[in-house]
Amino acid sequence: MKNNPLPRYCWLLSVLLLVFSITVHADDNQPLVDALNQIKQGSMTDREKAINQLVALKNPRSLVVLQALLAGKLLIIKGEDKLVIAEDVNQEYEVRDAITDAKLGTKNHDAVSKINLTNKLRSDLRKIIGELELNADDPVIRLAAVNAMANEADERLLDLLKLRLNIEKNPAVKEALENILLLQQMDSADKNLRILAIESLKDHDNKDVFNKLKTIVEKDADGHYVETDSDIRNTAELALIEINNRLQLYSAIETVFFGLSLGAVLVLAAIGLAITFGVMGVINMAHGELMMIGAYTTYVMQQIMPNHLGISVLLSIPAAFIISALVGIAIERGIIRFLYGRPLETLLATFGVSLFLQQTVRSIFSPLNRSVATPEWMSGSWQINDFLSLTWNRFYILLFCLMVFFALLQILKHTRLGLEVRAVAQNRRMARAMGIPTARVDALTFGLGSGIAGVAGVALSQITNVGPNLGQSYIVDSFMVVVFGGVGNLLGTLVAGFSLGIANKFLEPFAGAVLAKILVLVFIILFIQKRPRGLFPQKGRAADG
């Protein structure tokens, strides 16, 4: 049933190559050339053999080639059938000969094809490279090498690790080495050694230790303990209790973080709406589409600057603000200003606008989702230990959300526009009587709210799809947060967003994602029955306006 390799032809080819190499020139590089020729074959079985050959060669070039292979930098130049190692520079590859390391100039992306790998080959490679790199000079590389071997250390590797431990100076690498050996010691024949190993490992938050301990206290199908020695079992059980206590703490921290980051997304999506709906009283159904425009701005910025991913995302923030704000102002000037005081008509009209914007995006960018890359510093996670890690992108979005919130607060409190916005929101006629150009303020306020929606879109582009439907998925949540927090109150929006996020994440583990969402909705409905003006109702005369 397996994918059939091309055995016959390869065999023939290698025989031919062998003959060729004997007759023409048998220099030192020949085995390397042979192995590399085999790597070029399409079949994964051949590739695996070639990798093993490369390892057996003990040629210093092998490691370089294998590393390039694992990193996806080993390419074939189309037509020339030549293996090269490439570095991506300015949308082009700078290539070097895989065997001689000679510079071969630059190639564009279409002129080369990559040597593909499967998962099995990738994990094999990681182990092999780990072994080769165990004695590298850089302690960071050594540590990675040790960790790559941690899970599947067999007898031979263990001996290698022991040898390394004797000469290792770096404390971090030393500790990692000791841990692997101690873990192995838990299986030793000597009872005291085992207990010692458990005692010294129980303070480590290491999942291999945890799993090993669990197997010690396991019962078999008949209800007997697999482990016969009760002393070891008791030590293991005590250690497990300690670890479990820590695990509970970690999972609580994790859930709060998840909640806060979900909350941050909700707040970001809702905060623009808190201005347009909360302060101006406009039910803007196109709010989600303004976020979508922000997300597409990020996409366009990345297309313009494909080599500066990080900078393009940062530059997208002001760009998205400006573009969404302009679209917002156009909507306000073109449609909404004729409909003030008629919420139902506004709702329908803006819903129409949202459909219009969606279809426009479909026509310009195609109905397919667009791929927005995440910069390096935003991907991956902050690995605190084996059981607790916080993802960077969520972390930055949380930070970003707070920054946007406080910036907005400052604008409303300390700028002339903010003063005018508040004045118009409190009493439109009085404000006009005081000489405030209310029409202009309306347009600017709507622009501000829309611009912030655009900024939220930049954040969303980093965690979800950038497609025509992006806005629809957030519009309901946004209204929910604003209504729950209290219409017209920014702080309420912040608190509401975070509390809904955390509530959702605490419910999710036992209720499931679908039910958790429903429960939160039901809760909000009940809450609104009790307090129709939300968490932080506006007080005073403005509340009646």
Binding residues vs another protein (CB under 8 A): 1-3, 44, 72, 114, 116, 118-119, 122-123, 126, 207-208, 210-211, 214-215, 254-255, 258, 261-262, 265, 359, 362, 366-374, 379-381, 383, 386, 389, 391-394, 463-465, 467-469, 472-473, 504-505, 508-509, 512-514, 517
DSSP 278-295: IIT----TTHHHHHHHHH
Q: Which residue's CB is nearer to another protein, number 102 or number 513?
A: 513
Helix 472-485 to helix 343-365 angle (10° resolution) is: 150
Q: Which is nearer to another protein, 262 or 275 (CB)?
A: 262
Q: Which is nearer to another protein, 73 or 96 (CB)?
A: 73
Query: Between residues 142 and 505, which has the closer beta carbon with respect to another protein?
Result: 505
Residue 391 Cβ vs another protein, minimum distance, rounded to whole Å: 4
Q: Which of 290, 296, 359 is nearest to 327 (CA)?
A: 290
Tell me how far, at minimum, the Cβ of 255 lies from another protein, in Å. Answer: 7
Helices 416-426, 392-414: crossing angle, 10 deg rounding: 80
Rounded to a whole number of angstroms, the minimum distance from the CB of residue 292 to another protein is: 13
Shortest Å, Cβ 471 to another protein: 11
The encoded tokens of residue 32 equal: 């390397």
Shortest separation between residue 424's beta carbon and another protein, angstroms: 35
Nearer to another protein, 270 or 490 (CB): 270
At closest approach, how far in Å is the CB of 522 from another protein? 15
Nearer CB in complex with another protein: 247/326 = 247
For another protein, give the closer residue by CB, 91 or 415.
91
- Using the minimum distance from each CB to another protein, give the nearer residue, 176 or 443: 176
Residue 57 C-beta: closest distance to another protein, Å: 25
Residue closer to another protein (CB basis): 416 or 510: 510
| Spatial distance between the Cα atoms of 436 and 419, rounded to a whole number of angstroms | 10
Backbone region of residue 390 per phi and psi (left: phi > 0; alpha: psi in -120 to 50; beta: other values): beta
Quick check: 443 and 333 in contact, CB under 8 A? yes
What the block records as the tokens of 347 is 């709702």
By beta-carbon proximity to another protein, the closer residue of 28 and 220 is 220
With H, G, I as helix, E, B as strand and everything else as coil, classify residue 27: coil
Closest approach of Cβ 447 to another protein, in Å? 27
CA 213/CA 405 separation, integer angstroms: 47
CA distance 2 to 9: 18
| d(C-alpha 341, C-alpha 185), whole Å | 77
Interatomic CA distance for residues 82 and 104, integer angstroms: 11
Residue (71 or 542) nearer to another protein, CB:
71
Burial class (CB in 10 A: 0-12, 13-18, 19+), 37: middle
Enter the tokens of residue 467. Answer: 């497609």
- Please say which residue, 178 or 208, places its beta carbon nearer to another protein: 208
Identify whether the C-beta of residue 47 lies closer than 8 Å to the C-beta of residue 39.
yes
Q: Which is nearer to another protein, 23 or 371 (CB)?
A: 371
Instruction: Tell me how far CA of residue 391 lies from CA of 49, 62, 261, 442, in angstroms.
Output: 38, 35, 10, 39
Chain position carrying tokens 């199908």 = 221
The CA distance from 437 to 442, in Å, is 9
Contacts of 280 by beta carbon, 8 Å cutoff, 6+ apart: 425, 442, 445, 446, 449
Angle subtended by helix axes 155-167 and 171-185, to nearest 10: 140
DSSP letters, 164-181, are HHHH---HHHHHHHHHHH
Question: Three-class SS of residue 97?
Answer: strand
Give me the least distance between CB of 129 and another protein, in Å please: 14
Residues 280/442, Cβ–Cβ less than 8 Å: yes
